[in-house]
Structures are given as structure tokens and as C-alpha cells.
Amino acid sequence: MAAASDFPSPLRIPRSAALLLILCLCSALKLCNGYFYTINRHTFGHPHRPHFASHNYRDALTKSILFFEGQRSGRLPSSQRLRWRRDSGLSDGSAANVDLVGGYYDAGDNVKFGFPMAFTTTMLSWSVLEFGGLMKSELPNAKEAIRWATDYLLKATAHPNTIYVQVGDANRDHACWERPEDMDTPRNVYKVDKNSPGSDVAAETAAALAAASLVFRRSDPSYSRLLVRRSLRVFQFADMYRGPYSNGLKKVVCPFYCSYSGYEDELLWGAAWLFKATRNPIFLKYIQINGQTLGAGEYDNTFGWDNKHVGARILLSKAFLVHKLQSLHDYKGRADNFICSVIPDASFSSTQFTPGGLLFKMRDDNMQYVTSTSFLLLTYAKYLTSADRVVNCGGAIITPTRLRSIAKQQVDYLLGDNPLKMSYMVGYGPLYPQRIHHRGSSLPSVAAHPAKIQCSAGFDFMKSSAPNPNILVGAVVGGPDKDDRFPDQRPDYEQSEPTTYINAPLVGALAYLAHSFGQL
């Protein structure tokens, strides 16, 4: 056999130069259209860039943030972009002689639940802290979405040892199908205090304020200081007066947002965020002393508005991996256990996937676990890369690149790479849910129908098979069932209802992917 050098070659071009030439030609001829090819890591320094972009992640990022404007309560600003929404809930808090105007409706109803709102705020802030530097023109919009929430949380925590945790009677609200602009159901105000504690909702609120304080540290230092001071006070209340808020408020918050996992996870989570925000060693000591008693099972792999154990482990692992705090080395192992539990086919895997490849936890609002897990995978990959570390799952080495690949697959499924070829983000792609379980989206807008639509009259629209008249751009719904089926029916709240805490972690994941494919 002849040696390779025996074959004549009219022109020898170094591999790196050839790749550059291809990219330049592709760009000049506008043939790439967002598709970027894998480049040798030693030549160009991008070891994590996947083969091609199958989606417009920048467009999805823009829409995922825009969604929060559709969930706003209170007096809307002139900059409001979803124009079919109008002012609502302008007397919220008056029943208790407090100002609770503002904040977000958590989903498709008109109640303001403080527990998921605080978690949404924490995750939006974490998204910006990890990936905000990649968001470019979308960063101001993401920060505005956070501020809309923190302005409200500051109102809800204005009185010491008291947190207003809900506005609206959920049972009465769910008995109507009304636009938020029309709602005439009771706007009862519910709180936790030292006589009826709520360490879970209080510590989550403290986490939200602490995380947001880091977001605004440079751009608005005085606001940042206000947030961290309030966070300290709220966390002290959460820790001093311990108990789950669903004990005293069971008839109000259950079954909607019961604290099923208890409050220990929120105390650890809140302390972790306060340590990150203040660098005060008192919180490091709190974590070291209480970490075991506040911990959960090693193979707990659920992260969402109720259970924060996994999120705390990932967050604290950064202190060990990146900041070299040896006293927190156990959190790297606990974070690894989570990773191993969600890796398909790993020996420790305990996660189910649909036939089409979607992570599946439960039929009700499953997409929240898809977005939160994808965010954690990308964030942990970032930490591992900084420390030049990997995950060992029973002898199988899991690299940061593998974690990013799994996260991308989940986000791509959400955006349309699935058996139905449907995007589960409203307004993204050619095919997306048309009949989402959302009052404001499903009822005629005030501009189209100025007259009030009464409580029971709205159910005619809810039961209709017609598409929603108002597009809630960026809303991600609960998603398909375990067999990848999605009926797109408005009464089906388990699959068709969007929530703020589905979108919040997705914002960070989309920012990373958009940047990775050169779309930002």
C-alpha cells in the first residue's frame, strides 16, 4: 500500500485554515443561517460547541422573557409589550390595609401565590447571574422581569416578622373564568407571622431577595442593598419561627401550593443564597452546622417550587469547585448523585423518559422539571469546567459536554424536536398550543370586548374549542404525557397551563444555547 504522501495533492491547506475558510465562505454567502460546525478545541477554544443549531434560541429567549409581561398584576407601565393586557388588581392588599399591588399571577388564574412567585424570582435571578453576561440586548428585559417581582416581595415583607403570602381566594377564583381586568372574586390577604409561621415561604422569599440583590449589585447598588437587608431580616424570621406555612394556611394554599417537602430545604437554600450574597461567614457556619439535619436523601432528584434540596447542592458545590471552600466538599458528591440520577442509562439513573426522549416526572405540569433540570445541568457543567472536573457515575465518566448535550436535547424537545413536531412554547415555531389553560389569553381582550365578562359567562370561552384570541407569547405549557401525547385542550390544566416557574429556569438555558450557537 502506498503511503499517504505518495498520492499527489495539488494544494495542502492546514486543517485550521480550511475550517476558517469554510466558515468565512459560509458567512459571506449567508448559507450558515445559524448553523455552526464543530471546531477543533485546540485551534479555536470552543470544546462545547455542538454540531449545529436546530432552533432559533435567541428568538425563544426573547419570548420566554416576554411571557412574564403577560403575567403581570398591577398597574402596567407604558413599556408593556403585550398590549392585550390591562391594569388589574389595583386594590390588592386593601383588605388588610397594606399595599400589595403588583407581582405576578403564577399561572392561568388570577391568584397571587407568594411561594411560587418567590421561587420564580430566585430562578430568574440565578439565570441572570450564571448566563446574563451572554444575554446582551435581552439582559435589561430579564432584569425588569426580576424587578417586577422584587418590588412586590418588598411590599409583602415590609412589616417585621410578617410576610403576606397570598392575595385572592383560590377556591372562589377557580369557580370563575374571568379576565384579571374583570375579576370580582374576593381578594383576601393571607400572611405568615410568628403565631402562624411559614419557614418554607419565608426562606424562599429570603433566597429570592438575596439572589436578586446580586443581579442589581452593579447597576443599582442602593436597590441591591435594600434587597439584601430585607433578605437578612426575612431569613431570621424564617429560622427563628419554624414551621410549614401549609399548617396554618392549609385551607387556603392546599392543594395548590402545599409545602409537601417541608421547610428544611428552603432554610438550606436561603442560607446558601445569603452566603453567596453577603459572604458573611455566619451563613457558612449555619450551612456547616445545619447542612446534615436540613438535608434530604442522597438520591433525591426533584427540583422545583416545592423541593430545593438539589438546587442547594448545585449552588453550594460552586463554593467548593470554583471558590475552593474545602468545608463544602460534600456538596460536590451530593450534586454528582443528582447528576447520576438523571443521566439516561447510567447505573444510578432513576429518571424516566418518554419514548420521544423527554424527562418525565409527573403528568401535572411536567415541563417545570424539564426546564429546571436543564438549567441545573448547564450550570453544573459550567462549574465543573471551571474546576476541570467530571462526574463519576459508577465508573462511567460524565463530562460537562455530556451534561450540556442532555440539556440541549431537553430544550430542543420543548421547542419542537418531538414526535408531534410541536413547540410547547406559545408563539415559537409553526406549530404550538392554541388552547392554553389561561383566563386572560382565552377570553376576548378589553380592547376587543370592553364590556365586563361575568364570572360564569367566561366558562363558555373556556369550554370552546376555538383557539385563544390573545397569544401569550413565550408561555411554556405543562407539556405532553408519558407517551408524548398532547391533546391541546383548554380544560386540561395538567398539560395546557403555563406557569412562571416553568419559564424562569428556561431563560438561563436559552441564553446559554443562543450564545453557544452565535445567535447573541
CA–CA gap between residue 219 and residue 230 (Å, rounded) = 19
Q: Hey, what domains does the chain have and what are their CATH numbers? A: 57-516 (1.50.10.10)
For residue 68, count CB atoms less than 10 angstroms from its CB and return exposed for 0-12, middle for 13-18, buried for 19 or more.
buried
CA–CA gap between residue 167 and residue 465 (Å, rounded) = 31
Active site residue 497: yes
**Which position among 309, 437, 438, 515 bears the catalytic label?**
437
For residue 194, the cross-strand partners are none
For residue 391, the cross-strand partners are 398
Active site residue 437: yes
Contact criterion met (CB below 8 Å) for 203 and 144: no
**Which position among 181, 182, 488, 515 bears the catalytic label?**
488
Active site residue 336: no
pLDDT tens for the chain, 520 residues: list them: 433 333 333 333 343 444 444 434 433 333 333 333 232 222 223 334 445 678 999 999 999 999 999 999 999 999 999 999 999 999 999 999 999 999 999 999 999 999 999 999 999 999 999 999 999 999 999 999 999 999 999 999 999 999 999 999 999 999 999 999 999 999 999 999 999 999 999 999 999 999 999 999 999 999 999 999 999 999 999 999 999 999 999 999 999 999 999 999 999 999 999 999 999 999 999 999 887 767 666 657 899 999 999 999 999 999 999 999 998 999 999 999 999 999 987 777 888 999 999 999 998 999 999 999 999 999 999 999 999 999 999 899 999 999 999 999 999 999 999 999 999 999 999 999 999 999 999 999 999 999 999 999 999 999 999 999 999 999 999 999 999 999 999 999 999 999 999 999 999 999 999 999 999 8
Closest among 35, 253, 73, 82 to 155, alpha carbons compared = 73
